[in-house]
Chains A and B, each alone.
Chain A
Amino acid sequence: MTDATNTQGETIATSTQRDLGLKKRYSKERRFQALGITAIILGVLFLVMLFLSIVTKGYSAFQQTKIHLDLYLNAELIDPSGNRDISTIQMPIRYNKVLERAVSKAVGLDPNDKATRKQQRVAKSLLSKGASVDLRDLVVENPDLIGTRIDYWALADGDIDSFVKGQIPRDIPETQRLVKDAQIAYIDQLVEDGAMEKQFNTNLFVNGPSSRPESAGIAVAVMGSIFMMLIVLVLALPIGVAASIYLEEFAPKNRWTDLIEVNINNLAAVPSIVFGLLGLAVFINFAGLPRSASLVGGLVLTLMTLPTIIIATRSALKAVPPSIREAALGVGASKTQAIFHHVLPLATPGILTGTIIGLAQALGETAPLLMIGMVAFIKDFPTTPLDPATALPVQIYMWSGEAQRAFTERTSAAILILLAFLALMNISAVLLRRRFERRW
């Protein structure tokens, strides 16, 4: 058949050749798909591992061990003069004795028995050193409580908290253990009596930083982050959108605008710490703005976010079909009218998404804030953007350097909270996009 000029034979030959080619193509496609699926599985796997490790480490920080005390607010100890003078009753030291007596009673000791002084001291060590401050705050707010008997849940010490949560194991030798045998005996007793239990850790959400993990919280840092996000939103959005509209719609296309465009793209890739140095040099040294202030932090983050917003806005403007512009110009709209009446509304979803993603990026930024002094122990809530403040990621950074076991779980918990904020922002970006997106 090969040497014969048979057309049918030729057809068969070519068709088998084609078949081979097809097989090759299909297997190529399958290989590519398999590779893609592998990549996705790997990505998901790493994500799950990351989340699992953070969640398993961090979830316990949302609970805090507390000790139930039958507390007699002895007026002689708290306010010997009896005139409820604020300078007297606001001293935390006056509440130490009250707490000590109450916790001794809780573990079954007689507070007046001088022979059990040592055991009483052990019992006292179960309480946080911040417990007297908390009690002081309560009494200062309600001075009528003095002289009465109240049910009170006092904070347990950070190490005791870690022990109750099982993070400090029982079975290591006492000399290497932070929680001693005598303390364990009282803990077991209190847990059995129902006088020691884990409750929701409100301190984590309402307190500022503290050297005692049991009373440390993220509220001051969140406040600083909120101030900075507002500053970034108010400055970066209008400046970024205005710059993009000018560059995209009005600016002549020449060497200068090309140069500006290249530089904006490069700015988006500049390491964030460089922006921190710039902020330090310009805003603090040159402009004389206060250090550690969220205003400076917000300005630095604005500089960082601008390229992101400009790039997103420009691509959103580019994506608006030119036919819409022509339609507006064709009925006699001026260029500005065409842009503001038709192009900008259509680009809004893209601009919003870009802005929110830029904000989320700024929210998680730590390095530039270190440069401008926002890594500080700031206990007071900032009331204006000029007050010293920290930010949530900086708080995480600071906690991660603390030695105590209880700070480790709080670090993970703060990361979880930060991730929750970021997820919230990204979800709102998606929702806004869906809401405003229009077909043309």
Chain B
Amino acid sequence: MQDTNPNLKQDSDIRSNPIKMSGEKVTVHYGAKQALFDVDLKIEENQVTSLIGPSGCGKSTFLRCLNRMNDTIDICRVGGKIMLDSTDIYNADVDVVELRARVGMVFQKANPFPKSIFENVAYGPRIHGLCRTKAEMDEVVVTSLQKAGLFEEIKDRLDEPGTGLSGGQQQRLCIARAIAVSPEVILMDEPCSALDPIATAKVEELIDELRENYTIVIVTHSMQQAARVSQRTAFFHMGNLVEEGPTDHIFTNPKDKRTQDYITGRFG
């Protein structure tokens, strides 16, 4: 595992998986302030890619570009290309609703709808017309909850409000809700930042299981978490992608001094 080009800090030579999404020269402006500078990042299929970096480094901004959640912010402008398979998702003919059905998202704070657990999971499939019959819907809800590792705990109270669950359960409910529309990619924005260590461990375990069927991109502030769950890690700093590579490389043998300083705790 050696670098063919010492200036290119991305380990593009050792990819064992096909590329699911990629950003090419992605720039983001919030009004006059530029938040991302020409980010090139490839995301591999069926792998967990974690985005790390100090606060305000642009990692969440990049994540939110991947399913165009930044569209909801009036002053936000995105430049460059973001490819999902072979289409640029910022093309005019790409429907953002369809895109978000393919690229699901789990947020920092668990945000179940103030409805029943069943309704929370069933909402996505319903608006996308995925289920024709009640039986199909039941099936989708149950499998989604099972995949999210929540079904056993709550199978007797599917009609209770989702907001009544514990924090960790709520976050797994949100994951089940994202899975229910059968996305190809799941984006997670610091999904464990509000959870205790036990709930965090459960979610991390779940992320590892989900990798089999989905491509996952996770933003995290915890380097231990990045090391535990991800196969590839990208380090952002001041709106730049500093370094990207296999997680064990980044953590054991970073090529950039800033990466080294960050992961050894010298700043951040």
* Residue from A253, A330, A346 within 8 A of B114 (CB atoms): A346
Q: How far is the CB of B159 from chain A (nearest CB, A)?
A: 15
Known contacts: A341-B123, A438-B114, A439-B163. The answer to whether A331 contacts B72 by CB under 8 A is: no
Residues of A within 8 A of B107 (CB): 323, 326-327, 330
Q: How far is the CA of A438 from the CA of B115 in the complex (A)?
A: 9
Residues of A within 8 A of B13 (CB): none
CB under 8 Å from chain B, chain A span 180-213: none
Q: Does A337 contact B (CB under 8 A)?
A: yes
Q: Does B150 contact A (CB under 8 A)?
A: no
> Which range contains the number of B residues in contact with the other chain?
20 to 34
Residues of B within 8 A of A321 (CB): 111
Q: How far is the CA of A253 from the CA of B31 in the complex (A)?
A: 13
Residues of A within 8 A of B177 (CB): 327, 331
Q: Does A268 contact B (CB under 8 A)?
A: no
CB under 8 Å from chain B, chain A span 342-401: 342, 346
Q: Is A329 in contact with B69, judged by CB distance below 8 angstroms?
A: yes
Binds A, one of B51-59, B98-106, B234-242: B98-106
Known contacts: A327-B174, A329-B69, A341-B123. The answer to whether A334 contacts B111 by CB under 8 A is: no
Q: Is A331 in contact with B111, judged by CB distance below 8 angstroms?
A: no
| Smallest Cβ-Cβ distance to B111: which chain A residue | A323
Q: Is B100 in contact with A332, judged by CB distance below 8 angstroms?
A: yes
Q: Does A324 contact B (CB under 8 A)?
A: yes
Known contacts: A323-B107, A323-B111, A324-B113. The answer to whether A330 contacts B100 by CB under 8 A is: yes
* Residue from B67, B98, B163 within 8 A of A330 (CB atoms): B67
Residues of B within 8 A of A341 (CB): 123, 127
* Residue from A329, A331, A346 within 8 A of B181 (CB atoms): A331
- Which secondary structure dominates where chain A touches chain B? helix
* Residue from B72, B98, B111 within 8 A of A324 (CB atoms): B111
Q: Is B105 in contact with A333, judged by CB distance below 8 angstroms?
A: no
Residues of B within 8 A of A324 (CB): 111, 113-114
Q: How far is the CA of A439 from the CA of B113 in the complex (A)?
A: 10
CB under 8 Å from chain A, chain B span 88-116: 97-101, 104-107, 109, 111-114
Q: Does A105 contact B (CB under 8 A)?
A: no
Known contacts: A346-B114, A440-B114. The answer to whether A329 contacts B100 by CB under 8 A is: yes
Residues of A within 8 A of B128 (CB): 332
CB under 8 Å from chain B, chain A span 228-261: 252-253
Q: Does A325 contact B (CB under 8 A)?
A: yes
Residues of B within 8 A of A329 (CB): 69, 72, 100
Known contacts: A252-B74, A333-B97, A440-B163. The answer to whether A327 contacts B69 by CB under 8 A is: no
Q: Does B178 contact A (CB under 8 A)?
A: yes
Residues of B within 8 A of A327 (CB): 107, 111-113, 174, 177
Q: Name which of A252, A325, A331 has the most chain B CB atoms within 10 A of its CB.
A: A331
Q: Name which of A332, A334, A438, A440 has the most chain B CB atoms within 10 A of its CB.
A: A332
Q: Is A332 in contact with B74, judged by CB distance below 8 angstroms?
A: no
Q: Does B167 contact A (CB under 8 A)?
A: no
Q: How far is the CA of A440 from the CA of B114 in the complex (A)?
A: 6
Q: Is B69 in contact with A326, judged by CB distance below 8 angstroms?
A: yes
Q: How far is the CB of B143 from chain A (nearest CB, A)?
A: 16
Q: How far is the CB of B97 from chain A (nearest CB, A)?
A: 5
| Smallest Cβ-Cβ distance to A345: which chain B residue | B114
Q: How far is the CB of B58 from chain A (nearest CB, A)?
A: 19
Q: Is B123 in contact with A331, judged by CB distance below 8 angstroms?
A: yes
Q: How far is the CA of A346 from the CA of B177 in the complex (A)?
A: 20
Q: How far is the CA of A432 from the CA of B72 in the complex (A)?
A: 32
Q: How far is the CB of A346 from chain B (nearest CB, A)?
A: 7
Q: Is A334 in contact with B69, judged by CB distance below 8 angstroms?
A: no
Q: How far is the CA of A337 from the CA of B100 in the complex (A)?
A: 14
CB under 8 Å from chain A, chain B span 163-199: 163, 174, 177-178, 180-181
Q: Is B101 in contact with A332, judged by CB distance below 8 angstroms?
A: yes
Q: How far is the CA of A156 from the CA of B13 in the complex (A)?
A: 108
Q: How far is the CA of A392 from the CA of B67 in the complex (A)?
A: 57
CB under 8 Å from chain B, chain A span 289-328: 321, 323-328
Q: How far is the CA of A438 from the CA of B112 in the complex (A)?
A: 13
Per-residue A-contact encoding for B227-246, CB less than 8 Å = 1, 0 else: 00000000000000000000
Residues of B within 8 A of A330 (CB): 67, 69, 100, 104-107, 178
Per-residue A-contact encoding for B110-135, CB less than 8 Å = 1, 0 else: 01111000000001100110000000
Q: How far is the CA of A438 from the CA of B162 in the complex (A)?
A: 12
Residues of A within 8 A of B100 (CB): 329-332
Residues of A within 8 A of B74 (CB): 252-253
Known contacts: A332-B97, A332-B98. The answer to whether A342 contacts B69 by CB under 8 A is: no
Q: How far is the CB of B14 from chain A (nearest CB, A)?
A: 33
Residues of A within 8 A of B124 (CB): 331-333
Q: How far is the CA of A235 from the CA of B112 in the complex (A)?
A: 35
Residues of A within 8 A of B163 (CB): 439-440
Residues of B within 8 A of A440 (CB): 114, 163
Residues of A within 8 A of B114 (CB): 324, 346, 438-440
Q: How far is the CA of A331 from the CA of B113 in the complex (A)?
A: 12
Q: How far is the CA of A333 from the CA of B178 in the complex (A)?
A: 12
Q: Name which of A329, A337, A438 has the most chain B CB atoms within 10 A of its CB.
A: A329
Q: Is A331 in contact with B109, judged by CB distance below 8 angstroms?
A: no
Q: How far is the CA of A326 from the CA of B72 in the complex (A)?
A: 9
| Smallest Cβ-Cβ distance to A439: which chain B residue | B163
Q: How far is the CA of A328 from the CA of B74 in the complex (A)?
A: 18
Q: How far is the CA of A333 from the CA of B99 in the complex (A)?
A: 11
Q: Is B97 in contact with A334, judged by CB distance below 8 angstroms?
A: yes
Q: Is A331 in contact with B69, judged by CB distance below 8 angstroms?
A: no
Q: How far is the CA of A328 from the CA of B123 in the complex (A)?
A: 9
| Smallest Cβ-Cβ distance to B109: which chain A residue | A323
Known contacts: A332-B181, A333-B127, A337-B127. The answer to whether A326 contacts B111 by CB under 8 A is: yes
**What are 20 sample pairs from A and B whose C-beta atoms fall under 8 A apart?**
A321-B111, A323-B107, A323-B111, A326-B107, A327-B177, A328-B113, A328-B123, A329-B69, A330-B178, A331-B101, A331-B177, A331-B181, A332-B99, A332-B100, A332-B101, A332-B127, A332-B181, A337-B127, A346-B114, A438-B114
Q: Lowest 4 CB-CB distances: which A-B pairs, in order?
A: A323-B111, A332-B101, A331-B124, A330-B105
For the A-B complex with A328-B113, A341-B127 known, give 5 more contacts whose Cβ atoms are closer than 8 Å.
A324-B111, A329-B100, A330-B104, A332-B97, A332-B181
Interface residues of B (CB under 8 A from A): 67, 69, 72, 74, 97-101, 104-107, 109, 111-114, 123-124, 127-128, 163, 174, 177-178, 180-181
